[in-house]
Amino acid sequence: KKVLDTDVFGKRYVYMDITESTNLEARKLAQQGAEEGTVVVTEEQSAGRGRLSRGWYSPFGKGIWFSIILRPEFLPSEAAKCTLMAAVALTKAFHKMGLSAAGIKWPNDILVNGRKLVGILTEMSGSMEEINYIVMGIGINVKTTQEELPEELKHIGTSLAMEGIDIERTEAFKIILGELEQQYYEVLSNGFEGTLEEWKQLSVTLGQDIEVRAPDHTYEGVAMDLDTDGNLLVKVADGTIKRIVAGDVSIRPK
């Protein structure tokens, strides 16, 4: 019986009760030659990883903690846009589940009313010329309740359940993998342009007063646009436009 709606994503499906991090597991498999679309999913992560060397809270049975192996033929410089692509696909999946308030904070957090529902961590292996593989790790809070959130996440985290979306994880996963696969093949056939446009439509960052903590500097200004590489363009006080390649955005209340 076919459980998933996808053709390639999840064709090889590795299910675990517990693991350190599905990104680590997926990287091991990718190094052994695992094919594109291989999915590693676990009930719990003992050392879930987040962006900027942070951890990721991944309690047993409460979320969808998974990674997908991709082997696209585009240039390594394009890999960062895969994360934007994932954010677009996931946001569309949440809209399908009835959560219309889900939107994207640059580059790839999915927020509902300012609280984080999803994190994405993309890791690439390859050279300057060629991508060997990409591991796209995605963590979705599904069943977690407000009481269960650790102290430091109480005001910044949310889950589908907390947003009133009562859905089984298998059903949610099916919708999510479907959207991811569709978006990925759209990018492979038509390039990133359309997906970046969709990103802009789904963004909660553009047009806002923001603060960006970039590795070298903190900027304050208005988020104006994305450039064609997915970098964020911020207009600062003196009117100049800064191009932000990496960093953490906070949206400043009006």
Question: Residues forming the annotated binding site for biotin?
Answer: 21-23, 45, 49-51, 116
**Of 51 and 235, CB closest to ligand BTN:** 51
Q: Which of 29, 38, 49, 79 binds ligand BTN (CB under 6 A)?
A: 49
Footprint on residues 112-131 left by ligand BTN (CB under 6 A): 119-121
* Residue with the two structure tokens 């585009």: 74
Instruction: Select from 50, 59, 72, 76 the one that contacts ligand BTN (CB under 6 A).
Output: 50
The stretch near ligand BTN (CB under 6 A) out of 4-12, 63-71, 84-92, 208-216 is: 63-71
Interaction mask 72-111, ligand BTN, x per CB under 6 A = -------------------------------------x--
Residue 23 CB, nearest approach to ligand BTN (Å) = 4
Of 45 and 205, CB closest to ligand BTN: 45
Instruction: State which of residues 137, 178, 221, 230 lies at the interface with ligand BTN (CB under 6 A).
Output: 137
**Considering only 10-18, 48-56, 85-93, 237-245, which stretch makes contact with ligand BTN by CB under 6 A?**
48-56
Question: How far apart are the C-alpha atoms of 7 and 241, rounded to whole Å?
Answer: 43
Q: Using CB under 6 A, which of 9, 10, 21, 99 touches ligand BTN?
A: 21
Binding flag, residue 56, ligand BTN (CB under 6 A): yes
Among 28, 54, 217, 243, binds ligand BTN (CB under 6 A): 54
Backbone angles phi, psi at 30, to 5 degrees: -65, -40
Which distant-in-sequence residues (6+ apart) come within 8 Å of 217 by Cβ? Answer: none
Check residue 39 for interaction with ligand BTN (CB under 6 A).
no
Residues engaged in binding ligand BTN (CB under 6 A) = 21-23, 45, 48-51, 54, 56, 58, 65-67, 109, 119-121, 137-139
